Structure 1
Amino acid sequence: MVPTTAFLLGPLLLASLWGVSTARSLLSLLGDHVREVQARLVQKLEEPSPVKEGWLWQPLDPFNSSDQRFFLQRYWVNTRHWTSPDGPVFLHIGGEGSLGQNSVLKGHPATLAPHWGALVVSLEHRFYGHSIPPGGLDIAQLRFLSSRHALADVASACVHLSAIYNISASSPWIAFGGSYAGSLAAWARLKFPHLIWAAVASSAPVQAQLDFSGYNQVVSRSLADPAVGGSPKCLMAVAQAFSDLDFGLSEGKETQALLQSEVRACGPLEAPEDQDELLEQLEGLVGAAVQYDQQVGAVLDVRSLCHLLLVNQSRGPLSGLQDAIQLVLKALDLPCLPSSKAAALAELKDTRPQAVGLGYRQWFYQTCTEFGYYITCEDLSCPFSRRKTLSAQLQLCAQVFGLSLASVAKAVTRTNTYYGGRSPGATRVFFVNGKGWIGESRDPPSQLSFLVSVSPFLFLFPGDIDPWHVLSVLQALEPSESAMLLRGTSHCSDMAPPQPSDPPSLHLGRQKILQQLKIWLQEAEVAQALAGRPKPSDDQ
């Protein structure tokens, strides 16, 4: 006899950078929502300011001087706090999405600029937003999209903007960025130290990795962490729920139709690939709660998700999941959960430019040709569906771009060789990551024995609630290549607009960034003074 869905979900389920295996995953959409809410908050707080939009002619292929093709790259400038052409320039580097005027009104550059009379500049990444070269997003064009091309654009922008705004040659440029853009900030300092004086890299995954199973390991730890509202029961519920969902989806049409209605899937769940798509969306719902935990604009955080799911256990686990799904769909203004793999694939194949939000096709191309970052669930410590394998995700690189598994693996290795992975070797770079704490538990609860036996370190050591910290620099490598972990904070939370509800660690972390910046700018002043000192003559 086929069990009911309420029984299938058991005692129950818990509801970038981005999820990269499908277009418009809930993880990426919820990330967009966080940024949109924070942008509106900045707009309310900001008074009219001298923010200007500008455009730079950039070579399409900066590594081939005989190629005379160019494109227009958008930038923004905020001169409100700029007091002198000799003052510092704070450069906000764009990542895998469009940039608006808020890019020079929020985050570290705008917040720190008043202290030093800095000019604030942001540069939109090539092939994203309004900076898409003529010819669109077909495969022939996308070969000019990479982090190396983006860094060449940064170098070119430094030179041309210095001329446009009469910036002194002695002015120190400080690069800022979060997530992928945080990696770019660190790499800009690494590759162009004569142009970029220093960099603040927030939640920067500088280590390219093909199989990113560590993402879900961090999610698991966070769901069990009482410090952020999780609990062992919450984690156990998630593991049981996804196991039961897998079982229910493998049953007949009647059960699949019931599941479609109860979890508000957009389409039938008979095809295995569509079942996989639905499970991916639900996993993204959980991942977003951890990745953006407690940030302004987060629809649900770990605490609220655990509450929804555990408080409704007496009525069956599905009721709590339904509440969580309804909140997310309402916030994102979606009628139902996307569940068509064909639709996701069609979106990744769409070569039409998208001027706002995340560039789905472009970013997926970069994962296939540079970074990997494929979030998998093949080890026993993962609480989600085991269907999310590396091979299944790599098939998309072949389907969308015709790239083989071997070529993707080589690309990831090449990226780490070029930049140095977790040991980039750049001076004056400050790596900032969120940090949580998993309390010691040498005698774990009996219901978690199977999890602890599989992953004995899960509950014994400090854990970071930003899943992307796994690929970042967590300890100082050199005196001038420092790192900081902010307890109880999530992905790029240090870059969000400050709020009274921010944890003390976040306030302290922002102060440490300010202090580090002070040291760097003092060093710049010394360097300027030494450069301007007359050289002694031979007879002195």
Structure 2
Amino acid sequence: MPKPLSRLENSKWIAFGGSYPGSLAARFRAKYPHLTVGAVSSSAPMEARLNYKQFFEAVGEDLGTDCSRYIREATQQLDDELKAGPTGWESIKKQFNVCQPLNGTDPMDVNTFLFALYMQIGYSMISIEFEPNLPKIQTICDIMTNTSGGSRALDRYSQLSKVFLQKQGYKCLSADYKSYVKYMQNKTIPVLKELIKQWTYQQCNEFGHFPTTALNDQPFAANIPIEYFTQRCADIYGPTFTPQYMQKQIDYTNEYYGTISTINITNTVFINHSLDPWHPLGVLHDLNNSTKAIYIHGTGHGRDMYNAKPTDPITIHWIPGTHWEYYMI
């Protein structure tokens, strides 16, 4: 009898993946074209950047003008309270259920709190398709634009943050930077339990992708600079991880694999979604006659990989007889 896998010996293979695996699928096709006949790459960041300042800008675009304006107003008011001294810090602790007293003189503690707060919305946007319990765009903006929930935008943002905490099963937001570093250095936690540890190392050593508030046209006013993230890497992994070292590693990643504009690849489909904060790092335009880009409006990260739902927008419906499986408007 033939061996069970013998029928696969002359098969043709297509690399497939979404998100980071989507990046790997495309890079595998580019580096080893003799091993595959093509690739499908969904919601894949295809360029390493130390300072990914377009992340929150994309979040703002997804939320819309009015909603983003109120969030910016709220975070400006938050910044004013941070500058007000101990009275303001205590007010923030109560409003946002901060786990420990907030030391406004320690920029690493302040940015740990701000990053956790901002990424409530940021993570919700990334996971819009696969975390059904998290508040979605409509809920976020209903709270932020409803002035009956508080005369100040900051009051409404505080309500929104508490909704996120409740949905995520957390009691409070952390502002303890040293505890975060200690946790990330803990080698006794099973690696499959906390995948964020592996991804953080890849960020520091390969890709960057750190979401800062460096652009003016984004909804968060209080500043989270790139220095916060580079210092995190150094404190967790040691003094080798200087900004210069990290930039060198990122440059190598881009040189080895290619970037959005330089990757040499054929027979590949890149699929991206307008509500995905990662799409600015994706391939959004055809690269050549056999490498095509599909950009789907009104859907989030990796939506094309999930089962169809009655609530799906027409933009992702399958239209029989069309060249592509996705109808775009």
Mark yes or no: TM-score above 0.5: yes
Contact 1:466 1:489 in 2 (8 A): yes
Select the structure with the greater relative contact order (CA < 8 A; seq sep ≥ 6): 2
After TM superposition, the score normalised by the length of structure 1 is 0.55
Looking at structure 1, the residues matched to 306 and 111 of structure 2 have their Cα atoms a distance apart, in angstroms, of 33
Q: Is residue 205 of structure 1 aligned with residue 38 of structure 2?
A: no
Aligned partner of residue 326 in structure 1, secondary structure:
helix
- Deviation of the 1:293 alpha carbon: 3.7
Q: Which residue of 1 aligns with 2:12?
A: 172
Q: Structure 1 164/368 Cα, relative in aligned 2: closer, same or farther at 3 Å?
A: farther
Q: Structure 1 368/314 Cα, relative in aligned 2: closer, same or farther at 3 Å?
A: closer
Within-5 A mapping of 1:396-435:
396-402=232-238, 403-422=241-260, 423-435=262-274
**How many matched pairs?**
319
Q: Which residue of 2 aligns with 1:373?
A: 209
- Deviation of the 1:282 alpha carbon: 1.5
Output the amino acid matched with 1:251.
A
Output the amino acid matched with 2:217.
S
Looking at structure 2, the residues matched to 243 and 174 of structure 1 have their Cα atoms a distance apart, in angstroms, of 49
Looking at structure 1, the residues matched to 231 and 59 of structure 2 have their Cα atoms a distance apart, in angstroms, of 25
Looking at structure 1, the residues matched to 119 and 322 of structure 2 have their Cα atoms a distance apart, in angstroms, of 32
Aligned partner of residue 255 in structure 1, secondary structure:
helix
Equivalent of 1:390, from 226, 237, 258?
Answer: 226
- Deviation of the 1:198 alpha carbon: 1.7
Looking at structure 1, the residues matched to 320 and 59 of structure 2 have their Cα atoms a distance apart, in angstroms, of 25
**Segment drifting more, 331-340 vs 425-434:** 331-340
Q: Structure 1 268/367 Cα, relative in aligned 2: closer, same or farther at 3 Å?
A: same
Within-5 A mapping of 1:17-416:
165-224=5-64, 232-271=65-104, 272=106, 273-293=108-128, 297-313=132-148, 315-316=150-151, 317-356=153-192, 358-402=194-238, 403-416=241-254
Contact 1:486 1:509 in 2 (8 A): no
Contact 2:39 2:267 in 1 (8 A): yes
Output the amino acid matched with 2:56.
N
Looking at structure 2, the residues matched to 181 and 333 of structure 1 have their Cα atoms a distance apart, in angstroms, of 28
Contact 2:318 2:325 in 1 (8 A): no
Aligned partner of residue 93 in structure 2, secondary structure:
helix
Within-5 A mapping of 1:477-488:
477-488=287-298
Contact 2:284 2:295 in 1 (8 A): yes
- Deviation of the 1:311 alpha carbon: 1.2
User: Cα RMSD over matched residues?
Assistant: 2.5
- Deviation of the 1:357 alpha carbon: 5.1
What are the Cα deviations for residues 59-80 of structure 1, in whole angstroms up to 9, with x where unaligned?
xxxxxxxxxxxxxxxxxxxxxx
Contact 2:18 2:42 in 1 (8 A): yes
- Deviation of the 1:182 alpha carbon: 0.5
Give 5+ residue unaligned stretches, structure 1: 1-84, 86-162, 225-231, 436-464, 517-540
Contact 1:265 1:337 in 2 (8 A): yes
Output the amino acid matched with 1:470.
P
- Deviation of the 1:366 alpha carbon: 0.9
Q: Structure 1 270/362 Cα, relative in aligned 2: closer, same or farther at 3 Å?
A: same
Looking at structure 2, the residues matched to 493 and 470 of structure 1 have their Cα atoms a distance apart, in angstroms, of 16
What are the Cα deviations for residues 18-50 of structure 1, in whole angstroms up to 9, with x where unaligned?
xxxxxxxxxxxxxxxxxxxxxxxxxxxxxxxxx
What are the Cα deviations for residues 91-146 of structure 1, in whole angstroms up to 9, with x where unaligned?
xxxxxxxxxxxxxxxxxxxxxxxxxxxxxxxxxxxxxxxxxxxxxxxxxxxxxxxx
- Deviation of the 1:355 alpha carbon: 4.5
Looking at structure 1, the residues matched to 7 and 145 of structure 2 have their Cα atoms a distance apart, in angstroms, of 58
Output the amino acid matched with 1:185.
A
Task: Answer with 1 or 2: which has the greater Rg.
Answer: 1
Aligned partner of residue 250 in structure 2, secondary structure:
helix
Output the amino acid matched with 2:223.
R
Q: Structure 1 216/303 Cα, relative in aligned 2: closer, same or farther at 3 Å?
A: same
Output the amino acid matched with 1:493.
R
Aligned partner of residue 205 in structure 2, secondary structure:
helix
Looking at structure 1, the residues matched to 183 and 222 of structure 2 have their Cα atoms a distance apart, in angstroms, of 25
What are the Cα deviations for residues 389-432 of structure 1, in whole angstroms up to 9, with x where unaligned?
11221112211222111111011111111111113221111100
Looking at structure 1, the residues matched to 252 and 295 of structure 2 have their Cα atoms a distance apart, in angstroms, of 28
Output the amino acid matched with 1:361.
K
What are the Cα deviations for residues 300-347 of structure 1, in whole angstroms up to 9, with x where unaligned?
111110101211356333443343223222222111122221122112
Output the amino acid matched with 2:20.
Y
Looking at structure 2, the residues matched to 502 and 486 of structure 1 have their Cα atoms a distance apart, in angstroms, of 12
Of all paired residues, the percent bearing the same amino acid is 29
Q: Structure 1 502/287 Cα, relative in aligned 2: closer, same or farther at 3 Å?
A: same
Looking at structure 1, the residues matched to 303 and 184 of structure 2 have their Cα atoms a distance apart, in angstroms, of 29
Equivalent of 1:467, from 258, 273, 277?
Answer: 277
Contact 1:249 1:269 in 2 (8 A): no
Contact 1:350 1:361 in 2 (8 A): no
After TM superposition, the score normalised by the length of structure 2 is 0.88
Looking at structure 1, the residues matched to 122 and 321 of structure 2 have their Cα atoms a distance apart, in angstroms, of 29
Q: Structure 1 343/200 Cα, relative in aligned 2: closer, same or farther at 3 Å?
A: same
